[in-house]
Amino acid sequence: MAKWVQSFEEYAKQLLEKGKIIGASVGLAENGELSYFQGFGLTDNTDDAQAVTADTVFGIGSVTKVFTCVAIMQLQETGKLSVHDP
């Protein structure tokens, strides 16, 4: 295990506790390959909650709209499309 992993995981657990976050997952990729993954906390706050794993699916709601908007604006800035196009 890399030297930073233990201190990072302790820090992550503290952040979840401080922010009252039920669960989260963290993954790091190097050169397109997953080099680190860890689930923290639980999937939800019900009686049948399970630990967060690599297979946990999180609902992200409307967050994708922000990414789409940023991508469209970047394409407009490079002249590859116009927000006025039909």
Q: How far is CA 72 from CA 52, 77, 78, in A?
A: 33, 9, 10
Q: Can you give the pLDDT at residue 61?
A: 76
Compute the distance between CA of residue 37 and CA of residue 10 in angstroms, rounded to an integer.
Answer: 14
Q: Can you give the pLDDT at residue 16?
A: 94
Q: What is the share, in percent, of the chain residues with pLDDT greater than 90?
A: 76
Domain residue ranges of the chain, discontinuous segments joined by +: 3-57
| Statement: residue 1 has pLDDT above 80 | no
Q: Can you give the pLDDT at residue 86?
A: 85
Average pLDDT, whole number, for the chain? 91
For 6-48, the pLDDT digits (tens) are 999 999 999 999 999 999 999 999 999 999 999 999 998 899 9
